[in-house]
Structure 1
């Protein structure tokens, strides 16, 4: 075994490579035996060799070499130039008047920062990335399962189509057999008549020939010829063969008939991850888990709001929390209800000049209630049960209002003559952005409705007059218009009212006349209906658990519906 390369052997002198290491040069970082110390000291007399016992190595700091003066070591640090300096540097005029520090103090500060960064890397950042990796793997596993379910659903639908096509083929072939048998029977009957006529003609021929060959003249005078009858030939039956006229297979049309896939995407959520801390925080968040729509949405609870009067319907609902909801109807009162108890917790009466005036309600990020008053042309905020006017409009009537994640307000409004509609973005109650026209200068909206903001920051509006959901991006550029889906549950025109979104960036809108809620994805693809026995649905909102709350206009009830798992 080679003693110089064996991992089992003791360390050897770097000079003689034979003797056991006993000393160490902190300047040159060389291991030495005692016999080789003298040789090493005189090997380069231009530098100061610091030789210590091997056990005390690294105890003497190895100062950095000067970049200006060869073989000089730097024991000071120029704070202004941010570089180490040697004694020759200090003797020059280059650093005259500059603040200088002992390099060991600078190194200590540097070490403290490095150790602090190292501690953060070890205790916070690396564990956070471990959690992120685990979260991504979990999301991937969920996606695998969801896409397997998606493929299974497509396969099952394909099998359903095959069964229906087989039934259709069988039906058409049965119709072919029936038509064939009917025509063959008719032709057979005609053939039987022809054969009988042929037999009669043959009999007459034989009879006439017998008379002609006879000498009995009286028989000849008795012959009655039917030639004129036989000369009139029967009508010729011409069968009209049924033709199979196949529809031309058009992939696009067939694809729409079979079913389409909504678009998928991976969006970046800058608020999706949070840095791991040693203390547990209820605000620590992560990207929302992938959820699946339930095959059969279910009603969790129903809340009777107590609004009365023939025309006093229930219009709006807004979640204050997962336990409480605000409501408003066709009067001047906004009511706060306990979801679990169904009990009235609080009432706020607005100061509108008329008997009614609440256009829409919303809850801000800080938990304050906001409402629009279309009679007074104002947007107001309720803090500690005190109403504060924050926006007053001139020549415009506010309706839908919503609060963004940053605490800003979005308001959709009509002009006094009802000929123009626009969305205005308020930041700190100061007008920041107006959204009214598309790239070609045409109006984006036909009338006011309700408004919400999706997780991808798209602005979604239910345009009542246009019977459409209009979606623009954060910059106000039109992304798409959704005009409903057929067949509708009651086969009535799409009539959008309240609108909201959920953690999966789904857009949900109430369809007033079809007694249902439409769910579309963030790109406008229809996903499904929610009905759950709804009656004239109007206002919508969702809580943090993606439960849907539906304000029903006629029966003045709010339904809490579970539609995702």
Structure 2
């Protein structure tokens, strides 16, 4: 019978199966009519039957059966053994001296715990999972859009290339046609001169034939031949034909010129979502608050270094920092001990231009004079990249393990950012959408933000240039003077770093301060803290800022976030 089109039948007694149910045995979990109650009570006299009104069914606790005494029910609970026990268990002295509780009390406590967990699952955890699922679906939709935009951008770039290639082909073909016409005109003019001479020779032949045929001696003696002129044959014009020298058209070369798609990554953020709660107390599973800038940044410690000029600092851990300056030695300092733990001398004997620390904790440095990027593993230097017509400056290690390197052309007229995976070039960032250079030759330092933006301090342009992971310009931050800098001098950025809040921090060398801007280029504040000639910057995992002070050769540790 289809339950959707028929009335629901009433419940019947489990024994007689005819009379409407009125009672319920909480012990045996069976439904009964009043007439069958007596029969059920004597059906198994070993049990204590708890028969109640059907409306009160399951209101009587069902005591657990004893594992040691099969027919007994447990009414007590041994707290020490953490098991239910029956009267026979207690009489056997197995639990002598153990703390006992009435099983109903244990049941009520367990019911309270389970009820709270049910409430938490129902009101907190499940809705939170619903929000997470909704968020993932939204992000999937956003991902479809963003990847679609990326594909569209690649397609558009390809169409631009096709147009430019068509224009270039037409230009070259026009040049070839012009050269061909010039050569044809030259040869035509030469041919016209030859044809005229040939006509003159024909006339000469006819004149000589007429003189000969006339048999007139006096006329024959008067004939003057120009044959000596015609013996000088016309010169042969030698044409040098143009040649087409095609550029490299291999896949690797085309990929380098056309552009590349940077690698993607996915990570798990354990604090990406917090539990929903209807409570207002701070311990109710709420997420940690976003760190706020403190009103007065404070200097935590200062470390003396021994360089002629101190330029760079890079965090190895919260306790150790690498430093470099106008010296061929890079030094690892203990922050707490304020002493040198390790020294590494450059392979070339020239001072390093910039330093960085990889995800695996290896030191990386650029050597401008030697045209190399090097990595230090187990105190041994390995050359990773050697440039030919370029020189490296700033370097940083990315979240994906790639290296971003700022490189200059030999004539110092071009600057670009190159992404390397090992020694393989993966991406080149040099121009904006209009074909204008993104960076000036004064570009020095580079870092990657938490949102994967690439941030560069361009001191010659007096700007911080930020592009997204694909190399598309997001914004340029330039000091405009709305908030006067400490010395009110032109913005002169040097070292650059980012923190866990995606703030961008850059050292303003001329103004003895550090600018803090948000990930969209909005100025937030300055950090001063008695800084003098700040240059290199880095931030540790606790968002403590380390500043390399160039001329007084100190590393200053500053707390600026709550």
TM-score normalized by the length of structure 2: 0.66
| 2:478 corresponds to which of 526, 529, 532 | 532
**Secondary structure of the structure 2 residue equivalent to 1:469:** strand
Matched, 1:510 2:457: yes
The number of aligned residues is: 457
Matched, 1:482 2:405: yes
CA distance in structure 2 between the partners assigned to 1:558 and 1:52 by the alignment: 79
Q: Closer, same or farther in 2 for the Cα pair 1:212/1:400, shift >3 Å?
A: closer
Q: Is 2:395–2:406's contact at 8 Å kept on the other side of the alignment?
A: yes
Once the two structures are superposed, what CA deviation does each residue of 1:388-425 show, in whole Å capped at 9, x if it has no partner? Answer: xxxxxx99998767999x9x45533359x944324446
What is the match of residue 444 of structure 2?
Answer: 495
What is the match of residue 124 of structure 2?
Answer: 124
Matched, 1:87 2:87: yes
**Secondary structure of the structure 1 residue equivalent to 2:234:** coil
CA distance in structure 2 between the partners assigned to 1:106 and 1:124 by the alignment: 26
Q: Is 2:353–2:394's contact at 8 Å kept on the other side of the alignment?
A: no
Q: Give the alignment of 1:266-345 within 5 angstroms.
A: 266-279=266-279, 321=293
CA distance in structure 1 between the partners assigned to 2:209 and 2:307 by the alignment: 114
CA distance in structure 2 between the partners assigned to 1:220 and 1:162 by the alignment: 75
| 2:323 corresponds to which of 393, 402, 413 | 413
Q: Is 1:372–1:401's contact at 8 Å kept on the other side of the alignment?
A: no
CA distance in structure 2 between the partners assigned to 1:75 and 1:431 by the alignment: 68
**Secondary structure of the structure 1 residue equivalent to 2:302:** strand
Matched, 1:471 2:397: yes
Q: Closer, same or farther in 2 for the Cα pair 1:79/1:436, shift >3 Å?
A: farther
Give the C-alpha shift of residue 492 in structure 1: 2.6
Once the two structures are superposed, what CA deviation does each residue of 1:179-233 show, in whole Å capped at 9, x if it has no partner? Answer: 1110111111111122112212222222222222222123333334444443443
CA distance in structure 2 between the partners assigned to 1:320 and 1:40 by the alignment: 72
RMSD, matched Cα? 4.7
What is the match of residue 153 of structure 1?
Answer: 153
Q: Is 1:491–1:514's contact at 8 Å kept on the other side of the alignment?
A: yes
Once the two structures are superposed, what CA deviation does each residue of 1:403-456 show, in whole Å capped at 9, x if it has no partner? Answer: 99x9x45533359x9443244465xx3699978779xx989x9659798x99x9
Give the C-alpha shift of residue 12 in structure 1: 0.9
| 1:370 corresponds to which of 300, 305, 311 | 300
**Secondary structure of the structure 2 residue equivalent to 1:504:** coil
CA distance in structure 2 between the partners assigned to 1:139 and 1:171 by the alignment: 47
Q: Is 1:463–1:470's contact at 8 Å kept on the other side of the alignment?
A: no
Give the C-alpha shift of residue 20 in structure 1: 0.5
**Secondary structure of the structure 1 residue equivalent to 2:257:** helix
Q: Is 2:211–2:219's contact at 8 Å kept on the other side of the alignment?
A: yes
CA distance in structure 1 between the partners assigned to 2:279 and 2:362 by the alignment: 37
Matched, 1:26 2:55: no
**Secondary structure of the structure 2 residue equivalent to 1:129:** helix
Q: Give the alignment of 1:190-229 within 5 angstroms.
A: 190-229=190-229
CA distance in structure 2 between the partners assigned to 1:120 and 1:136 by the alignment: 22
CA distance in structure 2 between the partners assigned to 1:80 and 1:72 by the alignment: 21
CA distance in structure 1 between the partners assigned to 2:136 and 2:451 by the alignment: 16
CA distance in structure 2 between the partners assigned to 1:483 and 1:139 by the alignment: 33
Give the C-alpha shift of residue 21 in structure 1: 0.5
Range with bigger deviation, 58-67 or 464-473: 464-473
CA distance in structure 1 between the partners assigned to 2:227 and 2:199 by the alignment: 14
Give the C-alpha shift of residue 261 in structure 1: 2.3
**Secondary structure of the structure 1 residue equivalent to 2:31:** strand
Once the two structures are superposed, what CA deviation does each residue of 1:37-71 show, in whole Å capped at 9, x if it has no partner? Answer: 34433443443333222223223221122334334
Q: Closer, same or farther in 2 for the Cα pair 1:23/1:469, shift >3 Å?
A: same
Give the C-alpha shift of residue 554 in structure 1: 3.9
Q: Closer, same or farther in 2 for the Cα pair 1:396/1:196, shift >3 Å?
A: closer
CA distance in structure 1 between the partners assigned to 2:315 and 2:241 by the alignment: 69
CA distance in structure 1 between the partners assigned to 2:9 and 2:496 by the alignment: 79
**Secondary structure of the structure 1 residue equivalent to 2:403:** strand
CA distance in structure 2 between the partners assigned to 1:69 and 1:410 by the alignment: 66
CA distance in structure 2 between the partners assigned to 1:49 and 1:320 by the alignment: 66
What is the match of residue 187 of structure 2?
Answer: 187
Give the C-alpha shift of residue 127 in structure 1: 3.0
Give the C-alpha shift of residue 109 in structure 1: 1.5
**Secondary structure of the structure 2 residue equivalent to 1:174:** helix
Q: Is 1:458–1:471's contact at 8 Å kept on the other side of the alignment?
A: no
Q: Is 1:413–1:448's contact at 8 Å kept on the other side of the alignment?
A: no
Give the C-alpha shift of residue 508 in structure 1: 2.9
CA distance in structure 1 between the partners assigned to 2:37 and 2:236 by the alignment: 131
Matched, 1:553 2:509: yes
Q: Is 1:63–1:73's contact at 8 Å kept on the other side of the alignment?
A: yes
Once the two structures are superposed, what CA deviation does each residue of 1:222-266 show, in whole Å capped at 9, x if it has no partner? Answer: 334444443443233343332323223122222222222232222
Q: Is 1:27–1:62's contact at 8 Å kept on the other side of the alignment?
A: yes
